């Protein structure tokens, strides 16, 4: 199924929005197949945003994204790439509709809380950049009993 790369940026993590954001993707019906918290290296940040390397805001963007913990995730489900972008909202939070993550929680284009892949090619590239394949759930794990909540309750039969 379609997978997208989502990262909660240092401002989103510091402001305690991790649970809220994860909850939104879960309630939409997407499956979390990868999750980790990392302070990205400069190399990782520069590779991630390499399409912007000639832009005036590039060095500020890289120092911001490496300034603290980022919660990196891979979400899977039908239409997840475009739908995650819709749920995130416009790049500038002031232009993002209320109801979107940036529209609900931000006001500054340089502190816009969250990243989402913008295309199938970007998703593939970013997932490979941030995660090893052994860090992502496989179909085998998700279809096994270990992933079915009702089988974990009650504890005693
Ligand atoms: P990402 O999901 O982070 O990639 O954002 P995006 O896809 O909505 O926007 P884009 O890829 O064009 O820009 C990447 C990031 O650079 C944005 O999230 C902003 O934080 C920052 N950025 C983009 N445009 C500007 C700008 O005009 N000024 C400043 N200061 N930052 C910008
Ligand atoms: Mg982008």
DSSP 31-77: EEEEEEEE---HHHHHHHTGGGTTSTTHHHHHHHHTSS-EEEEEEES
Could you tell me if 91 and 45 are in contact, meaning their C-beta atoms sit under 8 angstroms apart?
A: no
Tokens of 112: 């816009």
Q: Going edge to edge, which strands form the sheet with 3-8?
A: 31-38, 70-76, 3-8, 114-116
From 21, 81, 115, 131, active-site residue: 115
Contact 129, 48 (CB under 8 A): yes
Walk along the chain (157 residues) and give the pLDDT tens digit of each residue: 999 999 999 999 999 999 999 999 999 999 999 999 999 999 999 999 999 999 999 999 999 999 999 999 999 999 999 999 999 999 999 999 999 999 999 999 999 999 999 999 999 999 999 999 999 998 777 777 777 777 777 777 6
Phi first, then psi: what are they for 140, rounded to 5°? -60, -45
| Catalytic residue flag (residue 115) | yes
Residue 116: DSSP 8-state: E
pLDDT at 157: 63
What's the whole-model pTM score?
A: 0.93
State the distance from the centre of ligand 2 to the C-alpha of 156, rounded, in angstroms: 48
Determine contact, residues 62/45, Cβ cutoff 8 Å: yes
- Residues framing ligand 1 (Cβ under 6 A): 52, 57, 61, 91, 109-110, 112, 115-116, 118
| Closest ligand (CA of 12) | 1
pLDDT at 146: 73
| Interface ipTM > 0.90 | yes
Distance (Å) from CA 115 to ligand 2 centroid: 7
Q: Which ligand is nearest to the CA of 58?
A: 1
CA of 148 to the centre of ligand 2 (A): 34
């Amino acid at each position: 199924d379609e997978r997208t790369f989502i990262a909660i940026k240092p401002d989103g993590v510091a402001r305690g929005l991790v649970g809220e954001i994860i909850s939104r993707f879960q309630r939409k019906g997407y499956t979390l197949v990868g999750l980790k918290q990392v302070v990205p290296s400069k190399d990782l940040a520069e590779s991630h945003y390499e399409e912007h390397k000639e832009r005036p805001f590039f060095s500020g963007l890289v120092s911001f994204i490496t300034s603290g913990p980022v919660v990196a995730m891979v979400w899977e489900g039908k239409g997840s790439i475009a739908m995650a972008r819709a749920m995130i909202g416009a790049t500038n939070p002031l232009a993002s509709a209320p109801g979107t993550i940036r529209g609900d929680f931000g006001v500054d284009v340089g502190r816009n809380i969250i990243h989402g892949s913008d295309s199938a090619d970007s998703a593939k590239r970013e997932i490979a950049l941030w995660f090893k394949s052994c860090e992502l759930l496989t179909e085998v794990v998700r279809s096994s009993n270990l992933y079915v909540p009702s089988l974990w309750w009650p504890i005693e039969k």
